[in-house]
Structure 1
Amino acid sequence: MKKKIIIPLLIVIAILSGWYFYSTAKNNQHTDQVTLFGNVDIREVNLSFNGIEHISSIMVEEGDHVKKGQELAFLHTELLQANSAQAKAQVEAQKQILAALVAGTRPEDISKAKADLESAKAIMSSSEHTAGRITKLAKKNLASTDEAEHSRSVAQADSAKVKALQAALDLAIAGPRKEVIAQARAILNAKQAEYIRAFQNLKDATLSAPSDGIIRNRILEMGDMASPQTPVFTLALTEPVWIRAYLADPLLGQVKPGMEASIYTDSYPEKNYAGWVGYISPTAEFTPKNIETAELRTHLVYQVRIYSCNDNNELRLGMPATVKIDLKQKIADDSGVKKHCKKAL
């Protein structure tokens, strides 16, 4: 019995709905003003931390009004602070290494290298003189052959030491190779990037409001594990708001984006909210059949959004509203309504 009652009832509702859109379109076609009925709609944002850690504190409750940039919740930061401090220290250490390489060898080190070289040259000169003298004596059998060979070996060793010290002095004067400096600079850049990442992770431990709005849902609590995939709050944006209404097909040529509109609600019947047509859907919201007759085409409707500033936050999500649009108005390049509602778009 229930099915027999429900089916005819649904048919009656469908007929009445079709008649409503048809009669509204017919009536609006012959007037200078169109009246639309709809509901207030807003944008919502799911707010989550860009990190994985336990929540340490939550600063707002459901229903609280928040401002852009306001801090809403925090994660535990002990480990994040340690990582940031370590990365910063590594950057400073690498800066000192690079600075030392760029500055080159200290003058004191060069002076010491020169002194060592001069000392080695003096020793070499003495050993060479001794080797020559003993060699002459050995030819006269006044010195042994072993003594002569030993003196020559000492002289050769002293000569090699002089060459090594000369090379060391040349390197000290020339300073580090440019490839070594480039490598040190690349390491510094890598460590700076690590510090930026660690510092950003520390900043991400604070969840802030991206815009003015109202906390609609508080999903997580203190002690819960936060992650980028898990929202902490749902934020309802207070600006802009719009009336989501539906425009019948015959009115598409008369209602255009930019037209100013007046908005009325049952909650504040004495008030008139200024608005403007901001969006008209390019496609029909529903199509009764694939092939439409002239009659059925009047049943096609298109979603339209009438934006409003909602300065006093009186227009709430889902609130029924009536919109009236003067069809004879001229559309300015910059609507007067928009000028007074810069945050809206």
Structure 2
Amino acid sequence: MSAADFPEQLKALDATLRNIENVLDVDKLRRDRAVLEEQASAPDLWDDQARAQEVNSRLSYLTGEIHRMEKLRQRIDDAELLLEMAQDADDEGSIAEVGDELVSLTKAVEEMEVRTLLSGEYDSREAVVAIRAGAGGVDAADFAEMLMRMYLRWAERHGYPTEVYETSYAEEAGLKSATFAVKVPYAYGTLSVESGTHRLVRISPFDNQGRRQTSFAGVEVMPVVEQTDHIDIPDNELRVDVYRSSGPGGQSVNTTDSAVRLTHIPTGIVVTCQNEKSQLQNKASAMRVLQARLLERKRQEEEAKMAGLKQDTTGSWGDQMRSYVLHPYQMVKDLRTEQETGNPSSVFDGELDEFIEAGIRWRKQTQIAAG
């Protein structure tokens, strides 16, 4: 892109950002923020801790989104002014600086544009993420733990709060399964493209002959249930088992029957939670996860019905969607979008945005193509 193209490029970015502001309705976001600020300042807010956390989480999210858009708007305005001044003064250094800023601005606007593609019924919800080791023995359990850390690091990088509900440790290393929540609006719409089977190829650190091992882990992403969802679970459809927690934890976690296993009898869905000290807390967390699973099952059934398809929603992890290769070369590649990188360590450290954004765009294109 030559300097002569800079004015048109800035004009295009300005138009794209205006469209994003219209789709996301920034004025409404500001009004919603004002209402939440008033609620957050109420003296009795913390009488209901769950409600207080919900208000503060939503307020923090809206403030961050508004700030991101206002900052982008300011950067575009500043770039336009700098370009005009640089051209008047024939300042090649400043013109080159505008070119660098245009590259950065284009990426930032594209990232914000992805949010406009999250228009599904549950996309604005928080998310519950479940990870389960698949084929591959101890390597698969280790891979499941790597994936859990990857998603938690991704959330941490963005400042998104998380809550771990369950971690079931494998005997030798890694995790048999884990469940956690990402407590920020649009977490479900954003992370739902991560659902499916993930594949790892590497020299096994658990094989004393140093052989290459292929292992698998499943990721399931579910929307958090809200009061309007009407996910009713009659007592006679639910079996509750309590048992002693295992794995790392404080003394009271490991020496009392605080862990809870819920079995939904009609579907056979089983949910466990053992990370809290209290049996009541674990049961409440397990119930939230079970309701999320049932809501996601309902969503899949409705989607399949509308598409005239039959699909197994009882326990399928979906098709293989991403490969992480550490040997004989280094690469992470998404098999749906063709998005790839030669730096697996950065991906495992939570640098997932390019894969997630490509997945969201791919999903939208697939939906449009399907009519």
Structure with greater proportional strand content: 1
Asked if Structure 1 and Structure 2 have the same fold, meaning a TM-score greater than 0.5 normalized by the shorter chain, the answer is no
Q: TM-score range by the shorter chain?
A: under 0.3
Bigger Rg, which one:
1
Question: TM-score normalized by structure 1?
Answer: 0.23
